[in-house]
Structures are given as C-alpha cells and as structure tokens.
Amino acid sequence: MKTDRILKLMKFLFWLIFIALCFNAGSLIYILFKGKYVSLEGSKSIYVDPDLFDHSELRTTWYYISIILITTLLALKAYIAYLVTKIFTKVDFNNPFNTTTAKLLIKISRIALVTGVLVVTINSLYMWLNNKALVDILMKPYEEGSGEFLFLAGVIFVIAQIFKKGTEIQSENKLTI
Amino acid sequence: MPIIVNLDVMMAKRKMSLNELSEKVGVTLSNLSILKTGKAKAIRFSTLEAICKALNCQPSDILEFVSDS
C-alpha cells in the first residue's frame, strides 16, 4: 500500500517534469524563431542570452547553435521523463518482469547516455567560445552535471541488464512443466 | 530445438486424450499443450515421472534428441 502511494506520487511528479521540460523546450523554440524573424536583441532566455555573445560576424551562428543544442538537451530530458511515465502505464506491478519493461529501461539508459554526451559537448563548446573570447567571460557553462548524467546512464544500464536477465529467468520458469 | 517431445505419439498409442492425461498427471491442460507442441523450455523430473506412469512408457519414448546439424 505504501509502495503504491509512492509510485502514484512518482508517476504524478514525472508527468509534471515532462510537461515542464516540454514547456521549456517549446519556449526556446519560440525564442529561436523570434530571434530569427523579429529581433535578436529581444530574444533572451534563462538558458542563453544573445548579449553575452561577442559582437562578431559569427555571433548569430553561435547563438543559434547554442539554442539548438540546449533545446535538443531539454527535449532529450523530456523524452526520458516520458519514458519513465510509460513504465508506470505499461508495467503490471504484479508481474513486472517482462520484455517491455526491460526494453524501456535499456532505452532510458541509452537516452541518458546521449544526454550526458550532449551536456559534455555543450560545456566544451562554451569553454571553447570563452577561450576564443566569443562569449562574455561571465557566461558560465550551461550545466554542471554531465558526469552525473553519464554515471546515471551506466547505473540504469546495469539495472536494465539485471531486469532483462530476470525476465529471461521468469519466462523460462513459466515454460517449465 | 534439438529435443523433440513425442507426447502425442504415445497418447495415440495408449488411446488417451489430453484431458485424461492432464487429470492423471496433475498438470493443467495448457501446460500439457505447451509440452506437446514443443514450446516448453524444461520439464521437471516429477512431471516426467508422472507422465511415464500415466502412459506406461519410458522417458525415451517421450523425449528424443535430434542433432541441429
């Protein structure tokens, strides 16, 4: 009963996280189009500020690359949250060891790995831009936590493999007469 | 799969239906059906013993090994 309540709460939280991340990604897409078709100067967000980019010829290019990378990152995080909500809808907690859940867990670990690599890429890009003086020194790396994402991807992958093995053993037991 | 289950052959020889065998052996109809159609992954010795008693036969009459090559 306690577990059921916790799982319901987790399901609700992950739906909230998914909606929030979708909203963030959508707002960045809006800012991207606003910057392109209206005015770059008014296109600020909490993630990227065009004023912090050096006023060079490639300013717009780097600004757009940053927005696209961060939007992709938010979309990936939203997808991970969506896959977790999918576990809650698809899994039968009376019989949890099935191939669907194992596949979902493996998928989550792969997406988490890609997300971690993307965060590393964004951080490296910002550091490179900083070194080349193409962005303001005040502009910090997008997110510290790329290592944590990669660590999390590894942990989820191991859990997914154990789950997959459990599914195989359960299936074999079911077909033992 | 290299192990072939010839349960239907023995059942035909002893003129026994799946229902009858299921009652004698104490295994559900669906599980016996899984065994008969070769979808089973494993069989317990206790089940094999019960089937051999019910059909008055040897394990080799029910299980056959055929090499993949």
Contact between A146 and A123 under an 8 Å Cβ cutoff? The reply is yes
Average pLDDT over residues A112-119: 90
* Distance (Å, whole) CA A124 – CA A34: 26
What is the C-alpha separation between A12 and A4, in angstroms, rounded? 12
Is 70 exceeded by the pLDDT of residue A93? yes
ipTM for this model = 0.81
* Best residue of B41, B45, B46, B63 to probe chain A, by most A CBs closer than 10 Å: B41
Q: How far lies A39's CA from each of A20, A31, A36, A58, A60, in Å?
A: 26, 10, 7, 16, 11
Q: Do B43 and A176 touch (CB under 8 A)?
A: yes
Q: pLDDT (tens digit, 9 = 90+) per residue, A30-87?
A: 888 877 777 666 556 666 665 656 555 566 777 788 888 888 998 999 999 999 999 8
Taking 50 as the pLDDT cut, the residues of chain B under it are none
In chain B, what residues touch A175 (CB-CB under 8 Å)? 34, 39-42
Contacts of A176 in chain B (CB under 8 A): 40-44
Question: Residue with structure tokens 């959508």?
Answer: A26
Interchain contact B34–A (C-beta under 8 A) = yes
Judging contacts by C-beta atoms under 8 Å, the chain B residues touching residue A171 are 41
Nearest CA in chain A to B26: A177
Is A136 or A25 the better-scoring residue by pLDDT? Answer: A25
From the list B57, B47, B48, B53, the residue with the least C-alpha distance to B13 is: B57
Angstrom distances, CA of residue A28 to CA of A32, A72, A98:
6, 10, 38
